[in-house]
Amino acid sequence: MTYINTGLTNGGLTASGHYQIEYDDALSKADGLDRASGLYDKCEEDFALMKTWFKGIDPAFGFPMRVQITNSPPNACSSAKASTPAPIDLVTSGTDLTFGALLPD
């Protein structure tokens, strides 16, 4: 499995640089590129909304946060450090995406 950003606007990096969108190259166009493109359009809107919920609180790590669309469940990320965000995995499941964030130890 290789994560790619082929065909995504700005190489998958959202306009404000908060997210880097990638998808598994083994996925169909509908499950990979099309879902990644749809997600790309909404990420920054959601980030702005979350900033209103948690005013004055910033993530303890730098940007961009990696968002990976895959067909595999998230794996444990034992090598992650608190200063390095673990990827946000979105697993394809029928017509929906399932969110699976991996938190560092």
Tens digits of residue pLDDT in 14-71: 999 999 999 999 999 988 999 899 888 788 888 888 889 988 887 777 889 888 888 8
Strands 3-4 and 65-70: unpaired
Tens digits of residue pLDDT in 73-94: 655 443 444 444 566 666 665 5
pTM of the model: 0.71
pLDDT of res. 13? 96
- Spatial CB neighbours of 25, under 8 Å, sequence gap ≥ 6: 1, 2, 3, 4, 6, 32
